[in-house]
Amino acid sequence: MTQRLIKSHFSSSLHPSFCTPLANFWPWPMHWRDVHLVAYRFAPQDFSVQDPEACNITMPPTLQSAARKRQAEFLAGRLCARGALHKFDPSLAAPGIDIDGAPFWPDSYVGSISHSNGYAAAIAAPRQRYMGIGIDIERKLTLLEASEISYEILTTSERRHLGKSKTDSSEAFIASAFSLKESLFKALYPSIKQRLDFKEMEITHWDRSGQASLRVNPGQGLQWLSPYRFDAYFNWVNDLIFSVVAIEKIPSAPS
């Protein structure tokens, strides 16, 4: 059952000792109107089982017996999400969990959460202006790891691009492709409410400056997406890739 949001007066300026906020963190070259990002460094080993209650965030039943690392990731992500929402309305609580397991954002907002290797981040934007917004964090891949997942992640066209490139690192391109497609999926999911295979999304432009474009190879029921190209951005920070896709309102999107 969907966990609804509860009004909260907890200050987003407070945080547990295992989290350290990243001030003025915005890793991409593009800025969007009315989009807010909050990010933390966090140390799972310093997480305490009392931290969720102290932060006025409920640990979901599915995670109450989970490993400390997983609980720390959840709490850090929700703290970021609440911080991003507080940029709009300080009375809003952290997103709950929807019936499909995705974060349940307030009706007036869209957002996304990600965490990896001691970093957590969340981004939020007004639903009136944006159809969806997605963020993803992934660690750097080894050459072996990149090779192992390339055929699951890349389309034939993307593999052809990588084969022709003399400057793009295969590890960097494959890691960024994975992350960019995760961000696009997160941005689209509130509207399409169905899973997308990695090969149903394709990078049509990618450059080392951190700019990319993607399209969706539409399956059943997604034909309305076929005319669109989605701008995306990525950047490497301490061997982690941060990617983002913000989709403004599309007239043909289903309501």
- Give the DSSP letter of residue 33: T
pLDDT for the residue 255: 58
Class of domain 140-237: alpha beta
pLDDT for the residue 104: 94
Average of pLDDT values for 121-139?
98
Q: What is the C-alpha separation between 240 and 175, in angstroms, rounded?
A: 9
- Percent of the residues in the chain that have a pLDDT greater than 90, as a whole number: 75
Average of pLDDT values for 84-91?
97
Same topology, domains 19-128 and 140-237? Answer is yes
**Torsions phi, psi for 136 (to 5 deg):** -150, 145
Distance in angstroms between the alpha carbons of the first and the last residue of the chain: 23
The whole model's pTM is what? 0.90
Residue 96, token pair as written in the block = 């709950």
User: Mean pLDDT, the chain, as a whole number?
Assistant: 90
Beta bridge partners of 213: 205, 231
| Nearest CA among 37, 42, 39, 38 for reference residue 17 | 42
Indicate if the pLDDT at residue 51 is higher than 50. Answer: yes
Q: What is the C-alpha separation between 54 and 142, in angstroms, rounded?
A: 39
- Percent of the residues in the chain that have a pLDDT greater than 70, as a whole number: 91
Instruction: Please name the CATH architecture into which domain 19-128 falls.
Output: Alpha-Beta Complex (3.90)
Q: What is the C-alpha separation between 125 and 246, in angstroms, rounded?
A: 9
**H/E element, 225:** none
pLDDT for the residue 6: 33
Q: What is the C-alpha separation between 42 and 62, in angstroms, rounded?
A: 21
- Domain positions in the chain are 19-128, 140-237
